[in-house]
Structure 1
Amino acid sequence: MFTFPKNIDALIAQAEEEHLYFKLVEQTNKDFALANEPIDIPLHIHPFQFKDLVLEKVLKLIQFKFAEYLNLLYIIDVSEVEIKKLNGSDLIELADQVSFLILKREWQKVWFRTNY
C-alpha cells in the first residue's frame, strides 16, 4: 500500500528504504530537464544535499523566473489544488513546501512505475 510521506525527510527515507533513491534523483533530473530548467543532481549525492539543491532551484525560479517555475510545476504534474493551499507570505517557506510537493510527485511516479 502506498502512503504519502509527511515531509521531505520522510520521503527521502522511504525512497532509500525501498532502494529507489537513485531512481528518485533520476526522475527529478529528467523532469527538470524536460521543463528546460536542468538541475543536474549527481546520482550519488547525499540526501540532504539533494533536498537543498531542489529547494535552491525552486527558490530561484520563484524569485527570478516565475513563468518557468509554473511550467516546471505543469511538467512535473504537481497538484494545482495543493499549490493553491500554500501561503506565499514567506518565500523560503513557500519554496520549501513547493519542493516537497515536487519531490512527492516525483516519488509517486517512481514508486508506481516500480510497483505496477
Structure 2
Amino acid sequence: MYSPPINIDDLIHQSEENHLYFKLIEQTNKDFALANEVIDIPLDVFPLHFKECIQEKVYKLIQNKFAEYLNLLYIIDVSENEIKKLDGSDISELSEQVTFLILKREWQKVWFRNKF
C-alpha cells in the first residue's frame, strides 16, 4: 500500500526499501529534461547528494529563471495547492520544501508505475 512520505529521508528510505531508488533518479532526470532544465544526476549518487543537486537547481531557477521554474513544476505535475501553501520569504527554505514536493511527486509516479 502507498503511504505518502513525510519528509525527504522517509521518501529516500521508501524508494530504497522498494528497490526503486534508481528509478526515482531516472524519473527525476527525465522530467527535468522534459522541462528543458537538464540536471543529469548519476544513478550511483548518494541520497544526500541527490537531494542537494535538485535543491540547488530549484534554488537557481527560483532566483534567476522563475518562468522556467513554474514550467518545471507544471511538467512534473506538482500540486499547485501545495505550492501555494509554502512561505516564499526565505528562498533557501522554499527551495528545500519545493524539492520535497518534486521528489514526492516523482516518487508517486515511480511507485504507481512499478505497482500497476
Q: Check whether TM > 0.5.
A: yes
Question: Partner amino acid for 2:100?
Answer: F
Question: Partner amino acid for 1:46?
Answer: F
Work out the CA distance in 1 between the residues paired with 2:9 and 2:49.
11
Give the corresponding residue for 1:38. 38
Instruction: Give, in angstroms, the shift of residue 109 of structure 1.
Output: 0.1
Report matched runs for 1:59-98 at 5 Å.
Answer: 59-98=59-98
Report matched runs for 1:2-41 at 5 Å.
Answer: 2-41=2-41
Work out the CA distance in 2 between the residues paired with 1:22 and 1:67.
29
The secondary structure found in structure 1 opposite 2:4 is coil
Question: Partner amino acid for 1:78?
Answer: V
Q: Give a deviation string over 1:17-56, Cα, whole Å, max 9, x none.
A: 1100000000000000000000000001001100000000
Question: Partner amino acid for 1:17?
Answer: E
Structure 2 unaligned regions, length at least 5: none
- Provide the aligned length of Structure 1 versus Structure 2: 116
Structure-2-length-normalised TM-score:
0.99
- Give the aligned CA root-mean-square deviation in angstroms: 0.4
Structure-1-length-normalised TM-score:
0.99
Structure 1 unaligned regions, length at least 5: none
Question: Partner amino acid for 2:101?
Answer: L
Give the corresponding residue for 1:47. 47
Q: Work out the percentage of aligned pairs sharing the same amino acid.
A: 73
Q: Give a deviation string over 1:40-80, Cα, whole Å, max 9, x none.
A: 00001001100000000000000000000000000000000
Instruction: Give, in angstroms, the shift of residue 9 of structure 1.
Output: 1.0
